[in-house]
């Protein structure tokens, strides 16, 4: 495997493990190299195209890497997979999700929620695999923010919606994450009583 293949494998591995810190670190340390190699990653390899789950995992990894690069000030990869920035609602939603995630990571849960709720309102009636992906992640982050704000009932409802959507999409990693999040919410509810 070439050095570039090793870098891609490390990035995809960080996404698969949902290790945001490792993904951010890899992207920051290899920013120019990743941006240069990114176009070769946007096409799902022929050998996995027949495997819907593997192809979806590949696409989700590419999107997550593009979002991280955009957060680091390099929006070109994200623009290359979704058109020019601001060109479509999907672009706004990807950008909004990155911004909301950064706010949540900084402890600005209410500001993050404002963006997420506006996105969900805009997404009403929209469909397609990319929309479904962003909507599911948005509900997941809404659930996390509400949990951190102490609103366990609404956190549970949003996380359950994310779980239901992830199950429909066949996203096993997201199903595992949202199932674990629901267990944490249930444990926190038990501590309240």
Check residue 2 and give its pLDDT: 44
% residues pLDDT > 90 (the chain):
47
- Please answer whether residues 140 and 181 qualify as being in contact, where contact means their C-beta atoms are separated by less than 8 angstroms: yes
Predicted confidence (pLDDT) per residue in 65-84, tens digit = 988 998 888 888 887 776 55
pLDDT at 1 over 80: no
- Please answer whether residues 117 and 142 qualify as being in contact, where contact means their C-beta atoms are separated by less than 8 angstroms: yes
61 is written with which tokens?
A: 């990894």
Alpha-carbon distance 193 to 188, whole Å? 9
Residue (of 143, 58, 162) closest to 100 by Cα position? 143
Superfamily of domain 89-192 in the CATH hierarchy: Tetratricopeptide repeat domain (1.25.40.10)
Does the global pTM surpass 0.85? no
| Burial class of residue 132 in the structure, from the number of CB atoms within 10 Å of its CB (0-12 exposed, 13-18 middle, 19+ buried) | middle
Predicted confidence (pLDDT) per residue in 82-126, tens digit = 655 445 788 788 888 888 988 998 899 999 999 999 999 888 888
Taking residue 191's Cβ as centre, other Cβ atoms within 10 Å add up to 6
Residue (of 149, 137, 163, 70) closest to 108 by Cα position? 149
Alpha-carbon distance 4 to 9, whole Å? 9
Handedness of CA 10, 171, 69, 103 (dihedral sign): negative
> What b-and-e string marks burial along 28-44, b requiring 16 or more CB atoms within 10 Å of the CB?
eebeeebbebbeebeeb
> Domain residues of the chain, as ranges?
3-82, 89-192
């Amino acid at each position: 495997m070439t050095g570039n293949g090793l870098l891609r494998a490390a990035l995809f591995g960080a996404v698969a493990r949902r290790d945001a810190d490792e993904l951010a670190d890899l992207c920051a340390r290899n920013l120019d190299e990743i941006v240069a190699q990114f176009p070769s990653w946007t096409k799902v390899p022929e050998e996995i195209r027949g495997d819907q789950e593997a192809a979806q995992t590949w696409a989700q990894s590419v999107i997550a890497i593009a979002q991280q690069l955009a957060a680091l000030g390099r929006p070109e990869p994200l623009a290359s997979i979704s058109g020019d920035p601001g060109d479509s609602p999907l672009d706004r939603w990807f950008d909004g999700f990155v911004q909301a995630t950064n706010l949540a990571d900084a402890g600005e849960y209410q500001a993050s929620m404002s963006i997420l709720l506006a996105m969900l309102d805009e997404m009403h009636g929209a469909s397609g695999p990319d929309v479904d992906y962003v909507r599911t992640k948005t509900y997941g982050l809404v659930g996390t923010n509400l949990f951190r704000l102490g609103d366990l009932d609404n956190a549970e409802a949003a996380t359950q919606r994310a779980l239901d959507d992830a199950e429909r999409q066949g996203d096993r990693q997201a199903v595992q994450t949202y199932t674990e999040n629901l267990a944490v919410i249930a444990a926190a509810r038990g501590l309240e009583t």
